[in-house]
Amino acid sequence: MKHLFSPLLLIAILAVSGCGYDDGELPITPDTLCGPHNCSGCCLGNTCQPGTLDTTCGKGGGACVTCQAETRCSPDKNPICAPKLPLDSSWKVQPSTANIEPLDPSDGLSWDADNSPPDVVVEMTCPTDGAPITTRTSEISGLTPSWSDGGCTTTANALLNSPLTVNVIDIDFAFDDPISSFQYTLTAADFEAGVVVRTLPGNVGTLTLRLQPRQ
Ligand SMILES: [Ca+2]
Ligand SMILES: [Ca+2]
């Protein structure tokens, strides 16, 4: 037994165990392991991948993940497997807030003859997969009105392919006094942001629309 750990036997044991060598490749050490120090994509085992595929998604040298159905690999987002935008998904487009200039730029006068602020309504015509629908918010007086009514619910498909028509109106005693109007076709980026801020033509201010998915 005293010869069990002789130098020759020790060399034989080390050779069989591999001593960190992997079938002739470089030795696996902390420096050669796939990780944040040598991989800007993601690590699949010990292999660095670009990290932009649904099957191998990731960044910064973390472990690759597989994005499940209804998501797509978006390494710069959180979560990195971002939900897809199904074209048949239903969305609420809601006029949220506005900032209106205190004077009507067209004549430099207050919106109303008694110098009171405007009484603002947002009328919106929304595309659908059938006939367009037109709705109005309630009337809110002031230069920074906000609303939670009005708006419309329609499909992503319709909103990506046809414009919204938006009329911002000051309600007066006998008639609708137009403040501004515009048309705008939403983009996939707008859906991801969940919000759109539009400058109102005529240097009148801004209008914020919120986008919320509906079941
Ligand atoms: Ca007016
Ligand atoms: Ca008015």
Among the bound ligands, name the one nearest to the CA of residue 179: 1
Domain that holds residue 145: 90-214
Residue 3: inside a domain = no
- pLDDT tens-digit readout, 112-150: 999 999 999 999 999 999 999 999 999 999 999 999 999
Q: Are residues 104 and 184 in the same domain?
A: yes
Angstrom CA distances, 11 to 14, 15, 59, 70, 132, stand at 5, 6, 41, 55, 82
CATH number, domain with residue 189: 2.60.40.150
Residue 132 identity: P
Which are the contacts of 46, defined by CB distance < 8 A and separation ≥ 6?
A: 28, 32, 33, 34
Residues 102 and 66 in one domain: no
**pLDDT at residue 22 tops 70:** no
State the distance from the centre of ligand 2 to the C-alpha of 117, rounded, in angstroms.
7
Residue 19: pLDDT above 70? Answer: no
Tell me the percentage of the chain whose pLDDT exceeds 90: 71
Give distance in angstroms: CA of 134 to centre of ligand 2. 21
pLDDT band, very low/low/confident/very high, at 188 (cuts 50, 70, 90):
confident
Domain count for the chain, please give it. 2
* Average confidence (pLDDT) over 65-76: 88
Tell how far the Cα of 200 is from the centroid of ligand 2, in angstroms.
Answer: 18
Which range is least confidently modeled, 24-33, 186-195, 198-207?
Answer: 24-33
Res 18 pLDDT > 60: no
Q: How far is the CA of 139 from the centre of ligand 1 (A)?
A: 13
Domain boundary among 61, 84, 107: 84
